[in-house]
Structure 1
Amino acid sequence: MRNICFYFQVHQPFRFRRYRFFDIGQDHYYYDDYTNESVLDKVKTKCYLPTNQLLLKLLKKHKDKFKIAFSISGVALDQFKLYAPEVIDSFKELVDTGNVELLAETYSHSLVALKDEKEFKNQVKQHAETVKEIFGVKPKVFRNTELIYSDEIGRMVKSMGYEGMLTEGAKHILGWKSPDFLYCNAIDPKLKVLLKNFTLSDDIAFRFGNKGWCEWPLTTQKYVDWLVNLERKEEIVNLFMDYETFGEHQWKETGIFEFLEDLPDKIIKNKALQFVTPSEAIKELQPVSAVHVPNPISWADEERDLTAWLGNEMQNEAFEKLYSLLPKIRQCEDEKLLKDWRYLQVSDHFYYMSTKFFSDGEVHAYFNPYETPYEAFINYMNVLSDFTLRLNSAVPESNLEQELANLSRIIEKKEKKIKKLEKQLKTSANK
């Protein structure tokens, strides 16, 4: 029997406001609250709530025969708490059915695995603790930001006790081999690796509503036939996609919800297919071989590499500048600074700086709130500059930085006192 593993990524970044050069050192609030709330409200209405409601109905209808998995970034959970707590409640209902698995990831949906093992592990631990606190479950399987994976990242994940990891079934690492088997890590074979079938996943995530696609319209029966008619020996089809596929990327008018509602029924009725969670797949199947990934891969763009986030000089400069602050961050105890640190690491900020205007330009433009990647870079570096000043003040490294920190505090106190006195004067003048 062939196993079908459905996994959805849930993530929303905290977007920065237009932060000018003259704001540096003057205004320490970086976030575009209006945009963040309005975007979340739109996606909540179009995707999260209606899709969760539909999935809950399907999970109750099919019971143990229908299973799915989610990873929800810590940053998304923070936004849900702030703007839409009802979304968290709806995910809790799904988890409570017992047939929804929650996966671990980095709290900040960051690229830190590429830079620092200690910070990577801290973020994964923080995310796992948050998931346990909110949903009452402990993740057993890991998915890195944007399915970024390498042999070394897999080693780090196994050292944290995770049984398996998800990544992309990229052609350039598989060669003639199929993604539709269970594999293991090349350094530590105890870590099992589930590879995304990008063709069948993208048929839903990207091509479903495209009337110019030769397979349009995609019916559930046609899709199930594709699943059944794969090579006979292939054991598992991993269908990994953004959760926003339903209602946001593929609008309701495309028929995506009708497709989702009918698909489990068609799969369950077919004796050759069954649903599994990632944990079940790892437990029940045996790896056919190690998958060798010496250089990091991802699920982004045609290249399935890191160029969406680290493909130009601007992205690399911002990335290096950000993580050059790690030594001081480890000494920092200011919760406001640590919170901003978490949000500065979100991979979306680097994605906005991408200059890939060719093969995947439309995809990058769709997700980008900035008019140009250069504008994204300048805005981010302005925010990072102010953050660095605050961090230097909180964790001074030299006598000069200590003196500057003291002067900054004195100036800040005097500015507050001046504003207070000005307010008192206005109040007296109005009497």
Structure 2
Amino acid sequence: MRTICFYFQVHQPYRLKPYRFFDIGDDHYYWDDFLNRNVMRRVAQKCYLPMNALLLELIEKHQGAFKVTFSFSGTYLDQLEAYAPDVLESFQRLVATGHVEVLSETYGHSLAALKSKEEFARMVNQHKEKIQKLFNGYTPKVFRNTELIYSDQIGEMVADMGYKGILTEGAKHVLGWKSPNYVYQNSIKPELKVLLKNFLLSDDIAFRFSNKTWKDYPLTVEKFISWIKPIPASEPVLNLFMDYETFGEHQWKETGIFEFMRALPEAVLSQTNYGFSTPSEVLNQVEPVSPIQVPYPISWADEERDLTAWLGNDLQDEAFDRLYELEKIVRKLDDPDLIRDWNYLQTSDHFYYMCTKFFSDGDIHSYFSPYDTPYDAFINYMNVLSDFVLRIKEKQKELELIP
């Protein structure tokens, strides 16, 4: 039997408050608590609570035949504890069913894998400890890097940390004529298996579901089933990867997205030869067909499926380089407040807000940004980073005075 692997990314960043040049050296708290709480509670009511309830209903109805997978960023989990303990409890109930897998990722939803092996490993270990704490000792076995960013070298690092598999994008320029509906291997460490997102079918749900100009609108369960049935029987796994906020937030309840998801498992199980599996189950049951060569990093984002959503212009590169110049001294100081802000300042969203792409991709970038322009995002971030540097210098002086 072939299988569908449903994976949801669940993430919210700590958004920066408006931070002026004149605040540098005077105000050491950077986070917009009011905005972050409001976003969390709004999305909780529109997405997290109703969708968690629906998934629990589906898992119980199908007696374990329906399964899903989550990856929670550390910044998201911190905000759950602070603003939405009811949502956290609903996720804990889902994981407790035994039919939900939780993946590893970086604690700060960071781009550290592109810059520092040491910082990457620290963030992954911190995230693993957080998952174990919140989910009754659960230890993830499969990895999902921030923004599905992957390369041969990143896979090698992940394999060295003991993970048996990693999820990434089924980018066309990497796959060529090959299908994403197989299990592949890392080209350096073949023991690390690679699951690739079927971005066409995933994005039909995540991005195109409510688009009335789309030639296949409206997307119905019957139509979706008619698309997956003809997939060759030799292709064993269909990876549907998407943001969890697809349900109720990006695609509003009024679009029928919840009804679509409620009906889909029954239709799949009764009308096709597909079942549902978690990534670990897929990796245990399906042999890889070949190594996949990814010499340059890929991601889920935009038409290019590369890094240019986060590191594609001078603003982003300047902010990114300035931030990671501080890595060694922050780790050496080992101050809890500095480490907390260091984690949150690494979140990929800050660099995403600085993206200057326009046209179709630009619409997506502006939708997610709390800033009027990418330049506002850059200036605000660099003001905060300037104050963060001052705090580091003050901490160094303080420690030098201690005998």
Give the TM interval when normalised to the shorter protein.
Answer: over 0.9
Q: State the match for 2:273 in structure 1.
A: 272
- The alignment partner of 1:71 has SS state of strand
> What amino acid sits opposite 1:52 in the alignment?
N
Q: State the match for 1:175 in structure 2.
A: 176
* TM-score normalised by L of structure 1: 0.91
Contact conserved, 1:8 with 1:242, CA < 8 A, in 2?
A: yes
- How many residue pairs get aligned? The number is 401
**Equivalent-residue separation in structure 1 for 2:238 and 2:231 (angstroms):** 9
Per the TM alignment, residue 222 of structure 1 is displaced from its structure 2 partner at its CA by 1.2
In the TM superposition, what whole-angstrom CA distance separates every residue of 1:346-391 from its partner, at most 9, and x where no partner exists?
0000000000012301100100000000000000000000001101
> What amino acid sits opposite 1:287 in the alignment?
P
**Equivalent-residue separation in structure 2 for 1:210 and 1:359 (angstroms):** 14
Determine whether 1:378 maps to 2:375.
no
- Structure 1: 5+ residue runs without aligned partners? 397-401, 407-431
Per the TM alignment, residue 166 of structure 1 is displaced from its structure 2 partner at its CA by 0.0
Per the TM alignment, residue 144 of structure 1 is displaced from its structure 2 partner at its CA by 0.2
**Equivalent-residue separation in structure 2 for 1:13 and 1:330 (angstroms):** 22
Contact conserved, 1:331 with 1:395, CA < 8 A, in 2?
A: no
Q: State the match for 1:416 in structure 2.
A: none
Q: State the match for 1:429 in structure 2.
A: none
**Equivalent-residue separation in structure 1 for 2:331 and 2:96 (angstroms):** 37
> What amino acid sits opposite 1:35 in the alignment?
L
Q: State the match for 1:84 in structure 2.
A: 84
**Equivalent-residue separation in structure 2 for 1:186 and 1:245 (angstroms):** 33
Contact conserved, 1:69 with 1:101, CA < 8 A, in 2?
A: yes
Contact conserved, 1:150 with 1:297, CA < 8 A, in 2?
A: yes
In the TM superposition, what whole-angstrom CA distance separates every residue of 1:53-105 from its partner, at most 9, and x where no partner exists?
01010011112210100000000000010011111100001001110000000
**Equivalent-residue separation in structure 2 for 1:183 and 1:93 (angstroms):** 32
Q: State the match for 1:138 in structure 2.
A: 139
Q: State the match for 2:332 in structure 1.
A: 331
Q: State the match for 1:234 in structure 2.
A: 235
Contact conserved, 2:105 with 2:127, CA < 8 A, in 1?
A: yes
> What amino acid sits opposite 2:382 in the alignment?
M
1:233-312 counterparts in 2 under 5 A? 233-312=234-313
Q: State the match for 1:16 in structure 2.
A: 16
Per the TM alignment, residue 112 of structure 1 is displaced from its structure 2 partner at its CA by 0.2
Q: State the match for 1:194 in structure 2.
A: 195
Q: Greater shift after overlay, 167-176 or 353-362? A: 353-362
Determine whether 1:106 maps to 2:111.
no
Contact conserved, 1:302 with 1:359, CA < 8 A, in 2?
A: no
**Equivalent-residue separation in structure 2 for 1:245 and 1:146 (angstroms):** 15
Determine whether 1:57 maps to 2:67.
no
- The alignment partner of 2:140 has SS state of coil
Per the TM alignment, residue 264 of structure 1 is displaced from its structure 2 partner at its CA by 0.6
**Equivalent-residue separation in structure 2 for 1:129 and 1:334 (angstroms):** 19
> What amino acid sits opposite 1:369 in the alignment?
P
Q: State the match for 1:411 in structure 2.
A: none
Per the TM alignment, residue 271 of structure 1 is displaced from its structure 2 partner at its CA by 4.6
- Which structure's CA Rg is the greater one? 1
**Equivalent-residue separation in structure 1 for 2:227 and 2:285 (angstroms):** 23
> What amino acid sits opposite 1:94 in the alignment?
L
- The alignment partner of 1:247 has SS state of coil
Per the TM alignment, residue 221 of structure 1 is displaced from its structure 2 partner at its CA by 1.5
- Structure 2: 5+ residue runs without aligned partners? none
Q: State the match for 1:343 in structure 2.
A: 344
Aligned CA-pair RMSD? 1.3
> What amino acid sits opposite 1:72 in the alignment?
F
In the TM superposition, what whole-angstrom CA distance separates every residue of 1:326-347 from its partner, at most 9, and x where no partner exists?
1101211221111111110000
